[in-house]
Amino acid sequence: MEHIFEIKHTNGKKEYLAHNFFLSSDKEAKRCKLKPLRELYRRRALKISCSCTSPKVKMLIAYREKTNTYSIRTFPGKAKEHATSCFFSSGNDDTSLATDTTYEKGYVEKNGKIEVKLDSHDFKKTNTNNLKANPAKTTTTSMGKRQNTSVSSYKSSVYALTKRLVTEAWNKSILASTMDKYPAEDKNMVYKSLKGDILWKYSIGRDQLDRIFYGGGLVGQISHLEGKSKSNSAAYTILLLEEDLTAETSDKVILSLRSPKYKELREIVVPTHLYNNALSAVNNIPAPYFIGGFLTYTSSKTPPEFLSFSLIPISDYGAPIESSFERTLFNKLSAEQRKVIRPVRETIDSSWNGFIPDGLLLDTKPKTILEVFGMSQNHLAYHEKRQIKIEHFSNLNSSYNLWYWDAFNGSSPPRLPNLN
Ligand SMILES: [Zn+2]
């Protein structure tokens, strides 16, 4: 869950800024927000703290004239006080969220292309025979790489990468949708936009994702793809899993997957512990999923196997979702062909203060922010965040409407907002 800065003014006013505010690449918008805060901070008219843990951790707002950047940072030596899931816990005194940096783990953008930084064991095949023959060499290479990693180049995970790709694909197909061409129940449209426009932008080291993408054709195609890729990367894939696990041996799960494009099913093997980790990462939400990961292929007699693996639960139409309640909502929206996107980096508005809505309806005037509150009412911290989000989003009423569903208390979703 996203972490939040709490800003307490000496006059009693409170406001909130989520760390995700720094996801936006709009430097000017970020300066506009931080400049007045810095001025008040300097005059001791406000206090700012990170609420990742209890008690909250005191923070400071700094300004650097030379670069005209504002930043929020932790006091020297206090990094340890943050929750491990917090950005500031990385243990470096220089760690800051600043107007000229984008806060996103593992992605480096250059000229419209995005290089993804993953742990090498997520996508590099380690040949066990080589490892035995020359263990020293292999270890040095992978360790050496890891040691060079600085705070600024945090790694992404295969889950985060796959989720990002699926979300972009969903948004793209929604933006391209028309009266008679809406993302369909066979998920093919989402898949097509993924393969058509999105994969080419992403690379892992020297390998472009669309060049090592396995679309679910012939099994032998994987070894063909691996041969083409220069740095020994396994083949990346996103395929569709429509039912929960199909068969299980002592340490492997055999999945029946398909690409929405080719209708036939493919058997692919995933080690049980990878499967279970992926499932608990999404709170055991049942199928359907887009699954994403890197595949290797050992011989023509055995099915390909996942080296790294993630499950992205989706709606019946292919929208990524984070809970069964969200699935209900997105299915309802899609059944009515509503233009609903899931805001990501490019679409976040600085007026949201880093609170990223579960959905944004584009076919109302003004646009409607959608929130689904699905966790238990007893979960105090969650409840507090719900309150903060509702208050914040309701105050944007000339630019956005707010629609929300308190699913946690068993109520059914309110009527959807009217078109236009
Ligand atoms: Zn923190």
Residue ranges of E strands in 169-304: 202-204, 207-208, 235-241, 247-248, 252-257, 266-271, 289-296
Residues 306 and 166 in one domain: yes
Residues 164 and 276 in one domain: yes
Alpha carbon of 20 to ligand 1 centroid (Å)? 12
Alpha carbon of 379 to ligand 1 centroid (Å)? 19
Alpha carbon of 78 to ligand 1 centroid (Å)? 10
CA–CA separation, 397 vs 391, rounded Å?
A: 11
Report yes or no on 109 lying in a domain.
no
Alpha carbon of 293 to ligand 1 centroid (Å)? 30
Residues 286 and 348 in one domain: no
Alpha carbon of 87 to ligand 1 centroid (Å)? 6
Alpha carbon of 90 to ligand 1 centroid (Å)? 10
Report yes or no on 18 lying in a domain.
yes
- Of the candidates 224, 161, 227, 226, the residue with the CA atom closest to the CA atom of residue 194: 161
Residues 178 and 309 in one domain: yes
Residues 309 and 337 in one domain: no
- Of the candidates 412, 413, 389, the residue with the CA atom closest to the CA atom of residue 402: 389
Report yes or no on 322 lying in a domain.
no
Alpha carbon of 50 to ligand 1 centroid (Å)? 5
Report yes or no on 417 lying in a domain.
no
- Of the candidates 368, 394, 408, 343, the residue with the CA atom closest to the CA atom of residue 2: 343
At 260, list the tokens.
């929405």
Under DSSP, the state recorded for 286 is: P
Alpha carbon of 97 to ligand 1 centroid (Å)? 11
Alpha carbon of 83 to ligand 1 centroid (Å)? 6
Alpha carbon of 47 to ligand 1 centroid (Å)? 15
Residues 307 and 339 in one domain: no
CA–CA separation, 260 vs 257, rounded Å?
A: 9
Report yes or no on 235 lying in a domain.
yes
Quickly count helices (H) and strands (E) in the chain: 10, 20
Strand-pairing partners, residue 73, are 60, 96
Other Cβ atoms less than 10 A from the Cβ of 337: the count is: 17
Residue finishing a domain among 98, 126, 141:
98
Report yes or no on 51 lying in a domain.
yes
* pLDDT for the residue numbered 203: 93
Structure pTM? 0.88
Alpha carbon of 52 to ligand 1 centroid (Å)? 4
Alpha carbon of 82 to ligand 1 centroid (Å)? 4
Residue finishing a domain among 250, 282, 313:
313
Alpha carbon of 86 to ligand 1 centroid (Å)? 5
Residue finishing a domain among 259, 288, 313:
313
Give me the number of domains the chain comprises: 3
Taking only the tens place, the pLDDT of each residue in 351-388 is: 999 999 999 999 999 999 999 998 765 666 778 889 99
Alpha carbon of 48 to ligand 1 centroid (Å)? 11
Residues 289 and 338 in one domain: no
Residue type, 298: T
Q: Cis link prior to 303 (omega < 30° from 0)?
A: no
Alpha carbon of 6 to ligand 1 centroid (Å)? 11
Give the three-state DSSP class for 167: helix
260 is in which domain, residue-wise? 158-313
Report yes or no on 375 lying in a domain.
yes
Residues 196 and 246 in one domain: yes
Alpha carbon of 89 to ligand 1 centroid (Å)? 7
Alpha carbon of 366 to ligand 1 centroid (Å)? 34
Alpha carbon of 13 to ligand 1 centroid (Å)? 21
At 396, list the tokens.
């944007």
Report yes or no on 232 lying in a domain.
yes
Residues 164 and 309 in one domain: yes
Residue 395's domain is classified under what CATH number?
A: 3.40.1350
Residues 82 and 57 in one domain: yes
Strands 113-116 and 202-204: parallel
Alpha carbon of 88 to ligand 1 centroid (Å)? 6
Alpha carbon of 35 to ligand 1 centroid (Å)? 21
Residues 180 and 241 in one domain: yes
Residues 340 and 296 in one domain: no
Place of tokens 């054709």: 217
Alpha carbon of 394 to ligand 1 centroid (Å)? 26
Q: Which residues of the chain have pLDDT under 50?
A: 1, 129-152
